[in-house]
Structure 1
Amino acid sequence: METTEDLLLDGRVRLVQPKTGYRAAVDPVLLAAGVPARAGERVVDLGCGAGAVFACLAGRVPGVEVIGVERDPAMADLARRTLAANGIAGRIETADLTALPATWEAGRIDHVAANPPYLPADRADPSPDAGRAAAGVEAGSDLADWIAVARRCLRHKGTVTLVHRADRLDDILAALARGFGSVVVFPLFPKAGRDAGRVLVRAVRGGRAPLRLAPGLVLHAEDGAYTDQADAVLRGAPLDL
């Protein structure tokens, strides 16, 4: 696999990723910005790929410990290289998340981040590129499986944060109804006045607060440039969900 080493968060983070096929865009950066981790806490990145989410999180919050889970051995190797390139404390598990035993990190994790495949197989037109297809289409596990793994490994009052398509929000909320509460939905608008295409969703294991719909973030100005708020996040600012 040919790779490139790319810079994120205004050059503070190095990402080793495939030269062709699936490559990190803005979604993992936004996801990392929405995880409320603090130094010393443990974060699981489910389906970590080459490590864009955990690398951006560790770049913003030095001192976090990350655990990546990735089923593709080649991508898991890139994630380990990303760990090493940034000097991040943590490890990568090469495993399908549905194959993780029920005791895996049970109740020991402070936060889970996930960027699951966006579409079920019956709604998708898979890319001919295997990497893009694996990243975009559910295969062998669905949203409920991802959230169930998060629920098992999180401590009480730990958080799960996801980035996903806005039109999958009903599926996300249905899956979170088992064991989670204090849900925040944070829309990501491509431009002002446009429907949200993506959402960040955060929930608390054992939370009891009612669902909250946040104002969200407009990504692009009319001329196509990033808005000031979006640009700040892409440079390393946190998102206040």
Structure 2
Amino acid sequence: MTDDLTRDLLLGGRVVIWQPRKGFRAGVDAVLLAAAVPARPGQSVLELGCGVGTASLCLAVRVPDLAVSGVEIQPAYADLARRNAIETGVDLTVATANIAALPPDLRNRSFDHVLANPPYYQRSQGPASKDAGRDIALAGDTPLAAWVETATRRLKSGGCLTMIQQADRLPDLLAALDGRLGAVEVLPLAPREGRPAHLVLLRAIKGRRTRFSLRAPLVLHAGPRHLSDAEDYRPEVAEVFRNVAALPGFSCDSSA
């Protein structure tokens, strides 16, 4: 292990993640995003802003026989995504590019699924991080609307967009959707019972006209507070992190 990287294991050791020791590090958000994608074997998937590949690899381990591609603007992170794919045993193709200026081979393709974990913060909301990789991952210079636009363009008719975002940016995310996307579903993710949601998952289907659905919150942790260093995820959520389960409470099927 090099001094500036760590080698982490996810999904019960099924996914290998090399990532920077300092700066932006993949968290539970990427695992939850992957678990929310209703992909089926044989389908095609594109992840925008794939970082070190965490979400794409978790999805590919859960659903076999996917054709998975990723786009990452930071060359060092893209290289780590390729390395992680090899060590995990997943065929992941990663392009080093801005999501607003995809290379021709991706611009000319359509996908069954597009997933993304766009930066959570607006550039205007605070100073840039001293770590460039962390700054791009958490804020970046690409507006949220551009993420949605690129995703929408790359989806097939009937294809599914899945995104995770901070709850306070849900209005921005919904405002970025247009008439090309429908059957919009939002799943709030609450840390504990009775606590406000910090994150939301959003799914939408290209060309669908089904009405908007706000799901009951998914509570991640058991009990009113954290009592020890031990993991305290609720059993159905622990299945996502340990046994490659799909996310409970979010059973949309893009083929319906």
TM-score by length of 2: 0.89
Aligned length: 240
State whether structure 2 residue 130 is matched by structure 1 residue 123.
no
Once the 2 structures are TM-superposed, how far is the Cα of residue 87 of structure 1 from its aligned partner? 1.8
Percent pairwise identity: 47
Q: Hey, what does 2:42 align to over in structure 1?
A: 40
State whether structure 2 residue 246 is matched by structure 1 residue 238.
yes
Once the 2 structures are TM-superposed, how far is the Cα of residue 189 of structure 1 from its aligned partner? 0.1
Measured against aligned partners, the alpha-carbon deviations of 1:163-186 in whole angstroms (never above 9, x if no partner) come to: 000111111111112411100000
Q: How does 1:67-82 map to 2 (within 5 A)?
A: 67-82=69-84
1:169 & 1:107 partners in 2: Cα distance? 28
Judged with a 3 Å threshold, the aligned counterparts in structure 2 of structure 1 residues 207 and 102 are, in CA distance, closer, same or farther, namely farther
2:26 to 24, 29, 41: 24
State whether structure 2 residue 150 is matched by structure 1 residue 166.
no
Q: How does 1:16-165 map to 2 (within 5 A)?
A: 16-100=18-102, 104-106=106-108, 108-139=110-141, 141-165=142-166
8 A contact 2:74–2:133 mirrored in 1: no
Once the 2 structures are TM-superposed, how far is the Cα of residue 226 of structure 1 from its aligned partner? 1.4
The unaligned stretches of length 5 or more in structure 1 are: none
8 A contact 2:97–2:103 mirrored in 1: no
The code of the aligned residue for 2:212 comes to: L
State whether structure 2 residue 222 is matched by structure 1 residue 215.
no
The code of the aligned residue for 2:39 comes to: A
1:105 & 1:213 partners in 2: Cα distance? 32
Higher mean alpha-carbon deviation, 98-107 vs 54-63, is at 98-107
2:146 & 2:240 partners in 1: Cα distance? 29
The unaligned stretches of length 5 or more in structure 2 are: 227-231, 251-256
8 A contact 2:167–2:199 mirrored in 1: yes
1:112 & 1:74 partners in 2: Cα distance? 22
2:184 & 2:121 partners in 1: Cα distance? 22
Measured against aligned partners, the alpha-carbon deviations of 1:139-198 in whole angstroms (never above 9, x if no partner) come to: 1x1111011111111100101100000111111111112411100000000111011000
1:164 & 1:210 partners in 2: Cα distance? 21
8 A contact 2:197–2:217 mirrored in 1: no
TM-score by length of 1: 0.94
The code of the aligned residue for 1:228 comes to: P
8 A contact 1:33–1:238 mirrored in 2: yes
The code of the aligned residue for 2:234 comes to: T
Once the 2 structures are TM-superposed, how far is the Cα of residue 105 of structure 1 from its aligned partner? 4.1
2:68 & 2:57 partners in 1: Cα distance? 9
2:235 to 228, 234, 239: 228
Measured against aligned partners, the alpha-carbon deviations of 1:198-237 in whole angstroms (never above 9, x if no partner) come to: 0000000111100101113111222422111221111211
Provide the secondary structure at the position in 2 that maps to 1:37: coil
1:179 & 1:107 partners in 2: Cα distance? 17
